[in-house]
Chain A
Amino acid sequence: MRILIVEDERELREIVQQSLTEAGCLVELAADGAEGLYKALELDVDAVVLDLMLPEVSGWDLLRKLRAKKDVPVLILSARDELDDRLRGLNQGADDYLTKPFELSELLARLRALVRRAAGHSTATLEIGDVVLDTVKRTVTRGNESIDLTAQEYKLVELLALRRGGVVTRAVIHDHLFGEADETRSNLVEVHVSNIRKKIRPDFITTRRGHGYLIDG
């Protein structure tokens, strides 16, 4: 999962970043509303964690402007716990509302649920034929046999599984695996795909030449 965190508190931003990274997410950061809006519009992220009281552009404005153009799931993470604020947030297009102080584990679970629902699934496990992905434990099993994937390989499988039936370009895969900052554009994606095919089965991932990869539905 690739998550954008818009939070002006440096400490909190770092904590959430580290926590999500350790949970296997790719994290993008924005320290103010303007940067947050730009990144939310420009980057292909799976979800946005949004603080409300932000400098430059407030969380409310960001949400409104973002919703005018994009459907990405948004989780508001705010110290404002009044019912009015929560209702306003959800009514203005946020998908979830979490008040500070919060549990990191709850934030992660809610983000997973948001991303899952946005992709059209309602359970934490994804089944592709006899292959089962557990997005909470981050494991892949085939029949009763557990398949040992590296963190990057798992991310790639999860990305394709969440967008099952649709072609995912190599650039998008690269961004989700290594982030915007990485400009190497190496052939690591091809290497990972080849390794996954070897570990699961050769036809698990289909190549669309000139477009990208997909897992058939």
Chain B
Amino acid sequence: MGRSIRWSFLGWHVASLAVVLTAFGVAMYQLRERTLVGEVDRELLGAARALDAALRASPEPPWKAPGSRSEAREDANDPERLLRRYGGEDAIYHYVIRRKNGEVHSLSRGLGEPPPPLWLFGGAAEQVELRTRGEFREAAVRGPFGTEILVGRSLDAEGRQLAELLGWILASAGGLLAIGVAGGWWISSRVVRPIAVMSRAAETISARSLDQRLDVRETRSELGKLANVLNHTFERLQDSFERQARFTADASHELRTPLSILLSRIELALAQDRSDEEYRAALRSCGEAAHRLQGLVEGLLLLARADSDDQPPQRRPLDLAEIVGAVTGDLAELAEEHGVSVRVTLPGRDEASGVMGDPEAITRVLCNLVDNAIRYNEPGGWVEIALRSGEHGEEIVVRDSGPGIASEHRTRVFERFYRVDDARSRSARADGGAGLGLAICRGIVDAHGGSIEVGAREGPGATFIVRLPRAG
């Protein structure tokens, strides 16, 4: 946990540090090497030019073979002495002077086999050549009468300097790398520790303890923000868990009540011998309870299917006016029973509404709304159903003259099992009083991409507005 982040962070950190240090070391080494060789070159060229000048000043032209006499005498212009004077006692130069035809005119003692000539009968007068030959650096210039003057010396001293530099570079790079690794470890620990703390805290937050939250001390850093985001997620999770738990508790309560009636009625009927009339009454009572259960189970199944099903509803052109007609026809008897008059306002136009959907489902929505409007009403009251074209689609408006819905309940009436009155006046309920009707309505309307809401109070009664989007 957190390990891989830490190791990859550390890996990248060390790798980049190593690349930087290597590049720096290589550059430093090469720069130093070039500077050193440049110095040697200048020195060798200087020496070669000094020889050149000495040759030009020499009374013996270089093309003559050096006689034994000249070897013996102490010549101020003897190249060996000249070079020793030039470079000091430490510098050990070697030289080769060749004639224009490539013959060796003279060379250092102890040089062994002289290097082959550079130029034979050609090249410009001012030609200069610098080269590395084995462990030696050599410079060659053109002397008088086409002679070739080559001066070289060993690079031993420079090699030692460079080796020392390399050692120094490696040591300091190693030291820096070690410090970098330690620092990276420390930083990655600091980064990873709060993550580990958070993940441990998050692990303890399970379905049973969703009310716990992560400790958010500061909110500016990325981790603080992450903790906040997680806390918000937990909040939503807790909310939905609680809603689910409440729904389950409500559903079980609602299922148990008719079930109790059914079972107790049967137990009571069988407790002793009874008259036919009593048995009939018991069976009627059982039937009613069973119907109530049936309505409830159907409603729950409908909602469960709506929850699990992502399929869009059928899309057929809807004739809303026809649906309104069908619903008012079906509920006419109920309206009469309750002494409520139903008025319908349809827009006077010919074209189709342009709404697509499942006619059966929309009929159920309207049926639930009108049923409620009739039942939650008073004798002599009215229910008004209107169709109109709104900004966001076609609207079905159901208004009644009942007691209305208080503003604090306006958004909550669509919750499952939510009851405006805790009184549970069951007789006045469309679905056996369980409080699922409006939840089902909302499920259907949502699936159609529309919206359902309780309108703001204007005068008495409640107003429900269903909006369905026009196709296309």
Contacts and interface: CB of A to CB of B under 8 A. Distances in A.
Interface of A: 8-9, 11-12, 15-16, 18-19, 22, 32, 53, 55-56, 58, 79-82, 99-105
6 contacts: A12-B260, A12-B261, A22-B272, A53-B422, A55-B423, A55-B424
A15 B261 contact: yes
A53 B260 contact: no
A55 B264 contact: no
Contacts of B422: 53, 55, 58
Contacts of A8: 423-424
B265 interface: yes
Nearest to B288: A11
Contacts of A9: 257, 261, 426
Contacts of B267: 19, 103-105
Contacts of A15: 261, 264-265, 268, 285
Interface stretch (B248-256, B396-404, B434-442): B248-256
Given A15-B265, A102-B264, A55 B421 contact: yes
B288 to A, nearest CB: 8
Interface string B251-286: 011001101111111011001100000000000010
A130 to B, nearest CB: 32
A9 B272 CA distance: 24
B55 to A, nearest CB: 116
Given A8-B423, A53-B253, A53-B424, 16 more contacts: A8-B424, A15-B264, A18-B268, A19-B264, A22-B268, A22-B271, A53-B422, A58-B422, A79-B256, A79-B260, A81-B256, A99-B256, A100-B257, A101-B264, A102-B260, A102-B264
A11 B271 contact: no
A138 to B, nearest CB: 14
Contacts of A55: 421-425
Contacts of A12: 257, 260-261, 264
Nearest to B253: A79
Contact of B423 (A56, A99, A104, A105): A56
| Secondary structure of the A contact surface, majority rule | loop
| Secondary structure of the B contact surface, majority rule | helix
Interface of B: 249, 252-253, 256-257, 259-265, 267-268, 271-272, 285, 288-289, 421-426
B439 to A, nearest CB: 19
B126 to A, nearest CB: 107
Nearest to A56: B423
Contacts of A11: 261, 265, 285, 288-289
A99 B424 CA distance: 19
Given A16-B264, A19-B271, A81 B252 contact: yes
B248 to A, nearest CB: 10
B379 to A, nearest CB: 22
A105 B271 CA distance: 9
A80 B251 CA distance: 11
A81 to B, nearest CB: 7
B259 A80 contact: no
B146 to A, nearest CB: 116
A79 B252 contact: yes
B293 to A, nearest CB: 11
A100 B263 CA distance: 10
Contact of A104 (B256, B268, B289, B424): B268
A56 B249 CA distance: 21
B249, B260, B271, B426: which has the most chain A beta carbons within 10 Å? B260
B260 A104 contact: no
B267 to A, nearest CB: 5
Given A11-B289, A19-B271, A81-B252, A104 B261 contact: no
B403 to A, nearest CB: 15
B260 A101 contact: yes
Contacts of A16: 264
A105 to B, nearest CB: 7
B417 to A, nearest CB: 11
Nearest to B278: A18
B341 to A, nearest CB: 29
B300 to A, nearest CB: 15
A82 B248 CA distance: 11
Nearest to A8: B424
Give me the 6 closest cross-chain CB pairs, A-B, nearest first.
Answer: A55-B423, A79-B256, A101-B260, A100-B260, A79-B253, A15-B264
Contact of B256 (A32, A58, A82, A100): A100
A79 B252 CA distance: 8
A52 B267 CA distance: 23
Given A11-B289, A80-B253, A100-B260, A19 B268 contact: yes
Contacts of A56: 423
A104 B249 contact: no
Contacts of B285: 11, 15
Contacts of B257: 9, 12, 79, 100
A103 B265 CA distance: 10
Nearest to B289: A11
A9, A15, A19, A55: which has the most chain B beta carbons within 10 Å? A15
Contacts of B259: 100-101
B298 to A, nearest CB: 20
A32 B355 CA distance: 47
Contacts of A58: 422
B306 to A, nearest CB: 25
A101 B256 contact: yes
A18 B285 CA distance: 14
